[in-house]
Structure 1
Amino acid sequence: MKLPAFSVRRPVFTSMVTLIVIILGLISFSRLQIDLLPNIELPTLSVRTGYEGASPVVMERLVTQIIEEIVATVPGVEELTSESSEGRSQVRVTFNWGTDIDTAAIDVQAQLEDEINELPDDILRPRVSKFDVASFPVVIMGISSPMDPVELTRIIEDQLRFRLARIPGVAQVDTWGAYNREVRIELHPERVKALGIPLKDILTALHNANLDLPTGKIDQGKYEVTLRAPAEFLNLEQIRDTVVTERQEGLITLGQIADIRDTYEKRNRIIRLNGNPGLRIAIRKQPSANTVDVASGVLAEIESINRDFPQLHVVPVINQGNFIERSIRNVANSVAYGGGLAALVLLFFLRNIRSTLIITLAIPISIIAT
């Protein structure tokens, strides 16, 4: 018995099978992972390192060229691209297609470890990372505020980062353009030279005065109490009052030979939001998470943050979820228009509404089933 005849003679069975196929298709569709880009593994690695204070020319000569020579010995390398800037080096390694990128990353890291003595002693250890499409930020938000930038950074690091990290599906929260607090001590060379104070003594005095050391344990009945001697600096006055050395005329403090200012570290990235200084936060999702769901959760949290922190202005700058939703709407519209036109063409040639409906219903059922 042929399948069409079997289906016609058993309409209930055929209807139930069709219904089961539709239900299974809808369940599968609801669990379908949605991403802006396909999850592909590119045969590319990046080797990053830093050498504080080195010019781009020095970085290229002492770091980048040596790393290129080391990495070039790894099997399967097809192309090397490097970039040297002040204090930073990046070498992009492209392998032949079909190369196991995980094994290649291990080989590159092992080769760098074997030849690490060829690089300067005080260099940051090279970091090898894979080029992963899924690691692109799902949402990038901008934050501006009339607050002190260091205080703004503290709020972001201590409060906002935690709130964003607990959103389901969020894997990592990165801050760009942060103002990290830094106490800057600028010595007066003429005073230091006149007093004959070695720089080593100044550094030693600062180190010894800014300690938080454990001092042991004592037993109090059934309890054991841990003791420590907290002596870390709490304010600028304590730093200024640090005794550097002693002379016959009295004690020499750091405030007498240096200007001490509360400022922030030098920033390598400057962020502006609508022309005003600001910061950016990048949200990266877990590999198995749904991009649209994660983006929706982040947008809801942004609204909550704006309500809870009226002194902050948080806006989404890039939202992959929005791109995906628009793409899905475009696909749905194309399917609807295409199905409608196909039905009209069938009706025009068949001149039979019943036959047209049967064939037209087969289109969405086929899509759902696959």
Structure 2
Amino acid sequence: MVRKIIEIALRNRIVVLLFAAALFAYGIYSVQKNPIDAIPDLSENQVIVFTEWMGRSPQVIEDQVTYPLVSNLQGIPKIKNIRGSSMFGMSFVYVIFEDNVDIYWARTRVLERLNYAQRLLPQGIMPTLGPDGTGVGHIFWYHLDAPKLDLGEQRALQDWYIKFALQTVPGVAEVASFGGFEKQYQLVIDPVKLQFYNISLMDVMNKVKANNNDVGGRKFEMADMAYIIRGLGYLKSKEDVENIALANYNGIPVRVKDVGSVQMGGDLRLGIFDMDGKGEVVGGIVVMRYNENANKVIASIKEKMKEVEKGLPEGVTFKTSYDRSTLIQEAIESVKGTLIEEMIAVSIIVLLFLFHWRSALIILIQLPISVAAGFIFLELFGISSNIMSLTGIALAIGVVVDDGIVMVENAYRHISEAQLNKEQAIGNKQ
């Protein structure tokens, strides 16, 4: 069989060369299309359901949130396992699907079932899906260098400008903010004054919520002109909160400032982000979507950051905390370097031992074609170009080289013996 294949290849050299060229071209196309990452994605095919109910204990979260969700999500088709986790004020449900299930089909099925399961949860509790990214989706971290802004101003800049801009980059599932303070109005209530005016704490909360609102009126026409009447009531300053009326005491309105004080502060924090021991910083973590090209997404993020940086306040710049593209480029350069080094080494060895440049050329041609064919199979099976797969290709190059040298040397020996026998036969006849 092998002999027959070799005979057909020798008789149709042009066809073999064209096939090799087509294989190499398709391999180059697969290299450009195949997702490039540094770390192989071995995470499970999962959808995360996150529910927040602040102030409740883990046992209450388990009984009233996690258990109803897990019980109702079990009927989804093609589920492998469901895991629930309850902690103070938060619930996490991990729905593990079979490996061949499309992740967006799975998210749609989970979302459909959540619409039914939500009626079993306490009033006002809204479960949400986690980002469509994997456990290795954290591809890029950055922080702000803003010496003229405090941590609250930096966090506001990150949450309301930078985050929204970077989320528009193709392939980005989420931009998670970290560090700084989330600004909020804080009401410090005096319980003695509440008791004096006969006002409950719930009355204060409801009045503040009701007064932070815009209301619409009707259209008013006058002199061929139409005017829209609206009541503008959104809170814009600390003074607006202080002047909210809570009740009536002997004909005199009782305001928020009469029962306590209002201040600007930061939300409760469970930790800080420190940079090299020089102080706290504010920044974001970019999470990549499933099956995206990490190298391409990171390049798009850097281009977008250059545009965003033009709109930042004076003196504010981006600093990179973690960039996976550096590791990706090093892995690619390692494979390139290995390929070039082995091609040079093989050429020298073949030329020294055989003194035949055509034999060396045969081995040099099969190396890039073999590597290109490897990327074709990576693309067909949906495997990304990462450290593991690229290392496998680099190791396989040595096997290809050994095989090429053995085959060429064997063919060279057989041809030499055949020529020697032919010359001896001619000499005997003479």
User: How would you bin the TM-score normalised by the shorter chain?
Assistant: 0.7 to 0.9
Distance 1:326 1:80, change over 3 A: same
* Structure showing the higher strand proportion among its residues: 1
Within the candidate set 70, 93, 96, 1:94 is matched to 96
Q: Write the mapping of 1:227-246 to structure 2, written as runs, cut at 5 A.
A: 227-246=229-248
TM-score for the superposition, normalised by structure 2:
0.70
Separation (CA, whole Å) in 1 of partners of 2:11 and 2:258: 103
Letter in 2 for 1:139: F
Q: Write the mapping of 1:33-72 to structure 2, written as runs, cut at 5 A.
A: 33-37=35-39, 42-72=44-74
Task: Give the structure 1 partner of residue 269 of structure 2.
Answer: 267
Which string of whole-angstrom CA distances, capped at 9 and with x for unpartnered residues, describes residues 128-154 of structure 1? 458743981331212353422222122
Q: Write the mapping of 1:33-182 to structure 2, written as runs, cut at 5 A.
A: 33-37=35-39, 42-72=44-74, 78-95=80-97, 108-109=110-111, 111-122=113-124, 124-129=125-130, 132-133=133-134, 136-146=137-147, 147-165=149-167, 167=169, 170=172, 172-177=174-179, 179-182=181-184
Which string of whole-angstrom CA distances, capped at 9 and with x for unpartnered residues, describes residues 263-314 of structure 1? 1222355322233222231224466754223323433555676685454353
Q: Write the mapping of 1:340-355 to structure 2, written as runs, cut at 5 A.
A: 340-355=344-359
Letter in 1 for 2:187: I
Separation (CA, whole Å) in 2 of partners of 1:155 and 1:211: 24
SS at match of 1:211: coil
Distance 1:139 1:352, change over 3 A: same
Kindly report the root-mean-square deviation, in angstroms, between the aligned alpha carbons of the 2 structures: 3.7
Separation (CA, whole Å) in 2 of partners of 1:24 and 1:98: 26
Distance 1:104 1:310, change over 3 A: closer
Task: Give the structure 2 partner of residue 358 of structure 1.
Answer: 362
Tell whether the 8 Å contact from 1:302 to 1:315 is kept in structure 2 after alignment: no
Name the % identity.
19
Tell whether the 8 Å contact from 2:139 to 2:294 is kept in structure 1 after alignment: yes
Separation (CA, whole Å) in 1 of partners of 2:260 and 2:207: 14
SS at match of 2:214: strand
Distance 1:274 1:111, change over 3 A: same
Distance 1:346 1:67, change over 3 A: same
Task: Give the structure 1 partner of residue 10 of structure 2.
Answer: 4
Tell whether the 8 Å contact from 1:201 to 1:244 is kept in structure 2 after alignment: yes
- Tell me, which stretches of 5 or more residues in structure 2 are unaligned? 1-6, 377-430
Task: Give the structure 2 partner of residue 192 of structure 1.
Answer: 194
Separation (CA, whole Å) in 1 of partners of 2:292 and 2:80: 33
Distance 1:350 1:225, change over 3 A: farther
Within the candidate set 295, 298, 301, 1:298 is matched to 301
Separation (CA, whole Å) in 2 of partners of 1:87 and 1:155: 27
Letter in 1 for 2:140: V
> Offset at 1:261?
0.9
Task: Give the structure 2 partner of residue 258 of structure 1.
Answer: 260
Distance 1:75 1:21, change over 3 A: closer
Within the candidate set 312, 317, 328, 2:316 is matched to 312
Compare CA radii of gyration and give the structure with the larger one.
2
Which string of whole-angstrom CA distances, capped at 9 and with x for unpartnered residues, describes residues 145-177 of structure 1? 342222212222343235434556545433234
Letter in 2 for 1:263: G
Which string of whole-angstrom CA distances, capped at 9 and with x for unpartnered residues, describes residues 32-57 of structure 1? 43233567783433232122210223
SS at match of 1:133: coil
Tell whether the 8 Å contact from 1:42 to 1:131 is kept in structure 2 after alignment: no
Task: Give the structure 1 partner of residue 329 of structure 2.
Answer: 325
* Structure showing the higher helix proportion among its residues: 2
Which string of whole-angstrom CA distances, capped at 9 and with x for unpartnered residues, describes residues 164-217 of structure 1? 345565454332346322111121111110222244543454345433222222
Task: Give the structure 1 partner of residue 285 of structure 2.
Answer: 282
Separation (CA, whole Å) in 1 of partners of 2:126 and 2:214: 28
- Tell me, which stretches of 5 or more residues in structure 1 are unaligned? none
Separation (CA, whole Å) in 2 of partners of 1:352 and 1:111: 70
Separation (CA, whole Å) in 2 of partners of 1:174 and 1:245: 41
Q: Write the mapping of 1:12-31 to structure 2, written as runs, cut at 5 A.
A: 22-23=24-25, 25-31=27-33
Distance 1:46 1:165, change over 3 A: closer
SS at match of 1:331: helix
Tell whether the 8 Å contact from 1:44 to 1:131 is kept in structure 2 after alignment: no
Distance 1:222 1:106, change over 3 A: same
Letter in 2 for 1:356: A
Distance 1:322 1:186, change over 3 A: same
Tell whether the 8 Å contact from 1:144 to 1:277 is kept in structure 2 after alignment: no
Separation (CA, whole Å) in 2 of partners of 1:235 and 1:267: 23
TM-score for the superposition, normalised by structure 1:
0.80
Letter in 2 for 1:295: I
Q: Give the stretch that moved more between structures: 200-209 or 226-235.
A: 200-209
Equivalenced residue count is 365
